[in-house]
Structure 1
Amino acid sequence: MSEPILLNVEHDTRYVYSAPVELAQHLAYLRPLEDEHQKLEVFEMGVEPVPAQHASSRDVFGNSRAYFTVTARHEALHVWAKSRVAVLPRYAALRPEATPAWEAVRDRLHYAAGAPYEPASEFVAPSPYVPRLRELAEYAAVDFTPGRPLAEAAVALMQRIHAEFSYSSEATEVNTPVIDAFRQKRGVCQDFAQVMIGGLRGLGLAARYVSGYLLTEPLPGEAKLQGADASHAWVAVYCPDSGLPADWLELDPTNDMLPACSHVRLAVGRDYGDVTPLRGVIRGGGDDHTLAVRVHTERLV
């Protein structure tokens, strides 16, 4: 096994409100995932003003989530997280042409009375940000020809989305419907990922949303990646019997690549709504606020 690459991640979020906030409840997904290919060596998180309550737990998908309550009257909120992560390549031995036919995996995910429960099947169903849409299924079906190996078809779909869509931070917002991003063929990583997820699910396959980070400055010999100065998002498709980590293959349609040592995985869910880095409810705050988010990921020499 190759030596891991050490990455430092800093995620800084600041809200400034137009009027004082009297009470705030927030939920944060800022602690990176851990498995045999990604080890979390250091993690720190801070909140200002100091919360009256600050705790963490695991959600239904196994992600670490922090929740905190600020009872002090405040006109600004600052949330920061710092991580040091050791990352190893995940797909160096992948042979897309040797993976199962996509129809076999689809059929395995179908409900059948008396058959064993397949946990991945929950990622076949539509979700709030990714409803079931015929247009997305028809778009994906071009690459999923009869009998084609699943990973080979998924890579082809990823490549086509990358080629046919334009990255534009001005084209969409967090709540832009996925069908709008699809029809205009423009958007950001969230849109690229959710278009691909919608297409895969429309064919009966299990696909999930992966949130995380990219290296701000690329590894030697590599081009700078799209989305490197903010939180990033990509896709994982269920591909069993292929020798993959936990049977999931991750694909980054924004950058046309299989995530490797430039990607830090933060959380997985059905769509963006499950793994929003920071969200909450407040009492007060006025009619307006400003938000500033800074993300920086660097390699440790």
Structure 2
Amino acid sequence: MELRHLKYFLAIADAGQITAAAKKLQIAQPPLSQQLMQLEEELGVKLVHRGSRSIRLTEAGIILRNRAKQILELTDATTREMNDFAMGMKGTLTIGTVSSSGATLMKDRLSEFHKTYAGVKFEIHEGNTFRILDLLNKGIIEVGIVRTPFNTTDLGCRYAESEPMVAVMTEEHDWSPEQKTISLAELKNRPLIIYRRFEQLIHNTCMKHGFEPNIFCKNDDARTTLHWANEGLGIGMISRSALSLGSNNHLIVKEISCEELHTRVAAVWLKDKYMSSLASRFIESFSEASRAADLQ
């Protein structure tokens, strides 16, 4: 099985039609159909159900489509890595970042790195911590920017400064307008809106402090927490840096005084794996910025 076979198959799978795929690839339809048949024979499985006007992927075809995307992305990343090696400090740095740190990261770490290495280009993948770690393991990115807690097995880590979680709410939910800092216990029985990523951490910490949290809404994005809190639907719990992700015109912000709920952004990479000079320099830059923040 050659890479061109995977490219041909992926074009067919994406187009849902051999004729359309042939036009996109700028080859004739009969040779493309023949290549598909040869691929099926080589793998010993049927990849598509052929109809009069379109094709439909079999279960084996769906698996191969997903694998083909990963293989081709990894191939492209490897080609870029070799080009980066040949060009020194000119090339493309592939980074994955969680949304809750993206704005701050772009403003601080990446902008500082760009000032030093102006010839470097960036390819950014965004998602939650689990997706970023998955991209890292597949070799699609070289460096991940994730938020604690996460499993550090097989990972090298450089941590940024620790930050507290905050409670965000509209005026009708503010039980003590004069307070800027609150204890975790003050959130007992109040309707909480949380990012699912922190569910276990928040639940365990609340239980440790003697109460079960009243989770009104769980979601998959800190921006959703901000939006729901801004609509007055409950009290959001987010990391302080996530405040930069949305419009908070009506929100009152109170820092939660609880060390167990402090989180940190970290730059992570796979141990015992080749790292490009670009990625190594970025890790160094990230570490230097973190040390400078800790000294302030």
Q: TM-score, normalised by structure 2?
A: 0.24
Which structure is higher in helix share? 2
Q: Which has the higher contact order (CA 8 A, sep 6+)?
A: 1
Q: TM-score, normalised by structure 1?
A: 0.24
Greater radius of gyration (CA): 2
